[in-house]
Every structure is written in C-alpha cells, then in structure tokens.
Amino acid sequence: MSTDGETTQSLHPLVSKYLRKERMPHMACPGCGIGQILHATLLAIDDLGLTPKDTVWVQGVGCSSRITYSTWIGDNIDAHHGRIFPVATGLKMARPDMNFILFTGDGDCGAIGGNHFIHACRRNLDVTAILFNNGIYGMTGGQVAPTSPVGAVTTTTPYGNIEDPFDMCRLAMAAGASYVARWRSTDFRPLFNSIKKGIQTRGLAFIEVLVQCPTNFGRYVLKTSEPKEVLRWIREHSIYMKDAENLSPEELDGKYLLGEFLHRTDRVGIVDRYQEFLKKYRKD
Amino acid sequence: MSSGVKPGKYFVQGDEAIAEGAIAAGCRYFAGYPITPSSETSEALARRLPEVGGICMQMEDELASIHSVAAASVGGLKSMTVSSGPGISLKLEGLGWGIKNEIPFVVVDVQRAGPSNGVATRVGQGDFYTVRYGSAGGNYCLIALSPKSTQEAFDLTIECFNLSEIFRCPVFLLTDETVGHTRELLVIPEESELKIVERIKPAVPPEQFLMYPLETPEVIHYPFPNIGEGYGICVSPYTHTSKGYASTTQEIQEKMARRLVLKITRNLDRLVRVETRYTEDANFAVVAYGGNARPAMAAVDLAREKGMKVGFFRPIIVWPFPDGEVLKIAEKVKTILVCELNIDGQLSREVDRAARGKAEVYHLGSGGVEPHLPSQIFNEIRRLSA
C-alpha cells in the first residue's frame, strides 16, 4: 500500500483530467479491482461531460472510500462509516442542481449503514451509488462482512461463516431505487454503461460491483494472494441474467446474478417532489 | 429567499420559539427524528420552513438527521437538528464529524430526565457534560448556550447560528423540558433589529485557499466555501492537513487538535455571557442554569426579602465554562449553592473547579421530573447560612 511519494510515470489521460495528481498513486493494494471501477466511472463522467463544478464525489468508510477519497479534482465529501446516504441526502437537498457520485462498500452500505441505504432508496434520492462488494472487511484486515459467503473463513469467523449473505441489489429494488445493476469489476463495458445510465436516471441509481480483494478475501477465504485466483472465484460464483434463465434455483444457489435488474423512469424521487412541494407551499 | 421573520407578540412554547429563531437566523435545512420533549420544534419547522423555501426532513434516525444537517451546511444551507437525551447520545457521532471538519450548524438538546429513556415528558439536566465531552476522541472545545425562557430560546437560537458561523463549528442550544414546554410571551422584533451573521466566503482564489487554517489556529471569522463554488473542498472523518487530505503524522494530528481547541480558547472574551443579580454585597451565591434558574432566582428574591445577603449567578453561554466569572463570585462570597436537575453533580463540579477553593460549593441536586421549588432552594440557603 502506498500513501504518498512522487509519481514519476506518466499518468493516464483520465487521471490527469479528473484526479488530483498529488493524490496519486492511490492507496489500492496490488491486484485490487477498485482501479477498474474508478476507470469506468471516470470514463462515464468524461462521456457525459460532467465537470468538477457540477459533480461531487461522496464516500463512506472502507476500501471503496479511503482509496477514492480526495482524489476527484472537484469537491470530495467523505462521511462517517455508514453515513454516506444521510450525508448525500443533506448535500443533494441543499444542491439539487449538482451530481453526486457515491462510493460505498459492502460493510458501509450493507451493515452499519443498512438502514440509511433502505431509506435513501425509499426516498429515491437522486444520486448514483456505486457499491464495491469485496465480500469482506478489507480496510480493517479481513473480518466477516454481511456479504461474505456461507462457510467463509475470515479473521472473525475462524470456523467458517454461518450467516447468509445479503443480496444488496434485491434490497435496493424492494426499497424503491430507480436503477439497479450488478457487474464484476472485469465487466468493463456494461459497468461503464450502467454508471452512465445511473447518472442520467432521476432517482437513486445503485450499481453493485463484485470486486476482487486478493489481500484479504484472497488470503483468508480462498487461501491465495493471487488476484487471478480471486477473479476466477468471482467468475465461478456469478452468472449473467441471460445465462441463468434456464437454470434451477439449486443450480443458481451461491451465485451472484449479473445484469441490469431495474431501470424505472416512472418514479419521481424526493428531490423532484420537494421542488414541486415548495412551489405549492412557498409564500415568499 | 425571504428572511421569514414574523415580527410581533406571540404566546408560544420555548420549542416553538427555537423554530422561529432558527428561521430568523436564516436556517433553511432542518432534519430531525421525533422525540419528546423536542418534537414541537420539528413540527413548527415542518410548517414554517416550506413557507420560506427551506427544507424540512424527518429522517430514519438521529444519526441520519445530524449527518444530513452537517452535510446540508456543507451544501450551503444554514442548518439545525433537535433532540433530547437518548437521541443526543446518537447524534454525538455526527457532532464529531461537524467538529472535526469545522462545519457550522446548530444542535438543540431539550433535556429530559435520564439516564437512558428516563422520563420522556419531564425535565432533567443531565446532559451538561454530554454535550461538552460526548464526542469521543477529545481534542476539541465546544460552544453551548442555555436559555431560561421562551424569549431567550428565540434570541439564543439566533446567537447559536451566529457563533457557529463565526467559529466554524457546531453549536449547542442546551435547553430543557421546562423551557421547551413553557408557554409564555415571545416578542419577535423587526428584521432590521436582528443581528444575523452570514457565511463568510473566501476572498482569495481556490489555488490560494486553505480549507483548514492549521497554521493560524486562533483565527475566527474564517471563510467556509461550500460545494460547487470551485474550491474543491475535502471533508472527511480523518485527521486532515490544511487542504483536507487525510494524514497519519503526529505533526498534523497535533496541529489539527490545536486548531479545534485554540480557535475557542484563544477567543474566550467573545464567549462570556452570564446573568448576575445582587452579587455586589452578597456573602452567599446561588448558581443555576436553564429552566431551573427561575425557581433559583425566586428563592434568591425570597432570601433578599428576609434580609439575607444572597446573590444569583447564571451562565448563559455554559460552554466554554465561564471560569473567570465564577472565580469573581467565589472571591466575594463564603458559600455557593448550585441547583441543578441531576443527582451526580455536573454544573456544581464545574463551579467547584472554577471557584479554586475560594468558596464552599454545595450541590442541590434532583433526579428531575419536576424543577426545583423556590421553597426547596430557599430552605437549603437557610440551612447552609445557619
């Protein structure tokens, strides 16, 4: 992990254009998938023509957030662990004209911030939330997460995890998000398209990315530090929606479904509703 | 946006006066979670904020309320949340985020009898230290103001907003159920008579601006650029450099901690506000704050009627604690009686510390539910004077 130091190599053009050079290289471990997600995000930002003046990056706590925090050349707002959605609510309600891209983790969003996430979906807050799901607590050193698979040996489940993992996408859909999709960090093109669509969607867009963590998920759950072995595990435990159509529930057990699950354009979120509401009750 | 000030005379509760004070101060974002005895403020703001183009949210819990309030301030809106004991316990997390990032906003604590849920509908004064020291990690000072009446609830709410902008920090209005639920006269003056501090904006371009003035820790009236103003601000839960970047060095930790403390302790002259009565010739002083100051004052009046040389002292800005003012009283009198609605002794502990042994300090405590009766306090004055 590198936290500072001079960058001597030439930077990727997207990095030069959108990230703070003094914050490079970022903190991600070798083989981590966060860089791939960042790449897709920056490309989506570039494609849509978003600017540092109209777009804010919002983070929580965990690998997803610590690595992306204060790298965007615009405003960077990093919340306490789990409070990314309340913070995004305050920011977006105050500045409905701006775009908010949220980077959260499976612990941040699925555990400590789970209730906030549900209510942000219910309100259909107009933000784009990207969930980096590595199936483990990475930043704190390999503890079990609410997304860890059954049987996973972690530092806090030395005898194997006995709890079922959360399906965060189903949760988001049930709670009322406008856009929901799940991809792997290696599904670059669909991930890029989803982030773009998410930013353009009125209401809450939730994009879960299965991200390889060789440092902790690899080490404790898979007993390997090889990124490609973790990627192989993710590939074996995920399946595209179209490939899953003819499979039985037993065959799909323990597999992450990949795809765009929901794209609603009929549902108005809290931001639009509040503006309508103000038109009616404002007296000044 | 309009000022929203509605000048006139009103017969309202302290909780409602807080809402009007917030509107007058320019508060345009409120988020809360229902809790007795503070809900009347939320209800009043739910009616009033939309009228002035403001935002009122009922969030899923106390944590969400305070975090969204702090964030709305980063977004450029003056903001406030309210709660009481059990909710304040939860809000302390977001308070820390606000303190560390020097975000201006106001937190109202309408104290009730505790601990835990205690007696939800009845008064207590057990949060005196909670608001000051509750946010874990230390390395900060905090400002808290405490009203004794509906009128002061209005006036001091405005002052809380002003101080939060001047000092760039969350400020507490530490009130209690007695004040919150007492219905009495409120006079709202003309807008031109109100002193409102607006957010200070940087006078230098972004490349020259430092978000956190770690090298000049004592500076106040320091600008706070909001998101979308081109300053590329960085706000986070981590120890930060002047630019807002996370740091793990002792040097930066030291500088940030000093900034958070010294911006208040080096400007204490701006933060002394007390009420005194009959202290010139007193040999005995009664000290109380918030709603419990009123029976205490009545007891002092009673003692004066009986010819006893008793004075009265009330901190209005309760944090930072007015050490110097208390010492002045302690040097004059032989005995100080502190009346407060907790058994453990909170205000009395501060008074005892500030008195530096110059006077005997006694604690008249109560677990709460009812405020003290003037007769209770008077009897204690008589007993201690004998």
CB pair distance less than 8 Å for B231 and A75: yes
Chain A residue with the nearest C-alpha to that of B4: A284
B277 within 8 A of B284, measured Cβ to Cβ: no
Contact A70 B234 (CB under 8 A): yes
Q: Name chain B contacts of A94, Cβ cutoff 8 Å.
A: 29, 55, 71-77
The answer to whether A283 contacts chain B (CB < 8 Å) is yes
Picking from B74, B199, B240 by the largest number of A CB atoms within 10 A of its own CB, the best residue to mutate is: B74
Note whether A76 contacts B232, CB cutoff 8 Å: yes
Q: Is the pLDDT of residue B206 over 80?
A: yes
**C-alpha to C-alpha distances, A35 to A32, A202, A233, B136, nearest whole angstrom:** 7, 27, 19, 34
Q: What is the pLDDT of residue A118?
A: 98
Say yes or no for a CB contact (<8 Å) between B72 and A90.
yes
Mean pLDDT per 10-residue interval, chain A, length 284 residues = 53 94 90 96 98 97 91 97 98 98 97 98 98 96 97 98 97 98 98 98 97 97 97 98 95 96 94 96 91
In chain A, the residue whose alpha carbon lies closest to the alpha carbon of B3 is: A284
DSSP-assigned beta bridge partners for residue A100: A56
Q: Tell me how far apart the alpha carbons of residues B81 and B124 are, in angstroms, rounded to a whole number.
A: 20
- Can you tell me the distance from the alpha carbon of B283 to that of B330, in angstroms, rounded to the nearest whole number? 9
- Give the nearest chain B residue to A65 (CA atoms): B236
Topology adopted by domain B275-385: Rossmann fold (3.40.50)
pTM above 0.95, yes or no: yes
What is each CA distance from B139 to A119, B163, B239, in whole angstroms?
33, 19, 11
Taking residues B269-281, what's their average pLDDT? 98
How far apart are the C-alpha atoms of A244 and A241, rounded to whole Å?
5
How far from chain centre, in Å, is Cα B64? 21
Q: Is pLDDT at B171 greater than 80 in this prediction?
A: yes
Give the pLDDT of residue B345: 98
Point out the residue among B51, B73, B97 whose CB comes nearest to the CB of A283: B51
Cβ separation of A88 and B4 shorter than 8 Å? no
pLDDT value at position A17?
96
CB-based contact A284 B76, cutoff 8 Å: no
**Per-residue pLDDT at B1:** 53
CB pairs under 8 A between A and B: 151
A272 has a chain B CB within 8 A of its CB:
no
Contact A89 B244 (CB under 8 A): no
User: Mean pLDDT score of chain A, rounded to an integer?
Assistant: 95
Q: Is A115 in contact with B236 (Cβ distance < 8 A)?
A: no
Q: What is the CATH number of domain B8-193?
A: 3.40.50.970
Nearest to B236 among A69, A89, A93 (CB): A69
Q: Residue B84 pLDDT more than 60?
A: yes
What's the pLDDT score for residue A9?
A: 66
- Indicate the residue of B65, B75, B248 with minimum beta-carbon distance to A91: B75
Residue A27 or B30, more confident = B30
Residue A3: predicted pLDDT: 47
Q: Where are the domains of chain A?
A: 28-240+249-281
A84 to chain B: nearest residue by CA? Answer: B67
Q: Residue A11's pLDDT is what? A: 85
Best residue of B28, B191, B212, B235 to probe chain A, by most A CBs closer than 10 Å: B235
Domain segments of chain B: what residues? 8-193, 275-385
DSSP percent split of chain A into helix, strand, coil, nearest 5: 40, 20, 40
Mean pLDDT of chain B: 98
Structure-token match 């977006």, residue found: A92
Q: Check B60 against A75: CB less than 8 A apart.
A: no
CB of A73 within 8 Å of a chain B CB? The answer is: yes
DSSP H or E segment with residue B329: helix B323-332
Chain B partners of A92 at a C-beta cutoff of 8 Å? 75
B249: chain A residues, CB-CB within 8 Å: none
Q: Judge if B8-193 and B275-385 fold alike in CATH terms.
A: yes
CB contact under 8 A, A70 and B244: yes
Q: Band the pLDDT of B3: cuts 50, 70, 90.
A: confident
Chain A residue with CA closest to B47: the answer is A281
Do residues A65 and A85 touch, judged by C-beta distance below 8 A?
Answer: no
CB B285 within 8 A of CB B232: no
| CATH pick for A28-240+249-281 out of 3.40.50.720, 3.40.50.970, 3.90.1150.10, 2.40.430.10 | 3.40.50.970
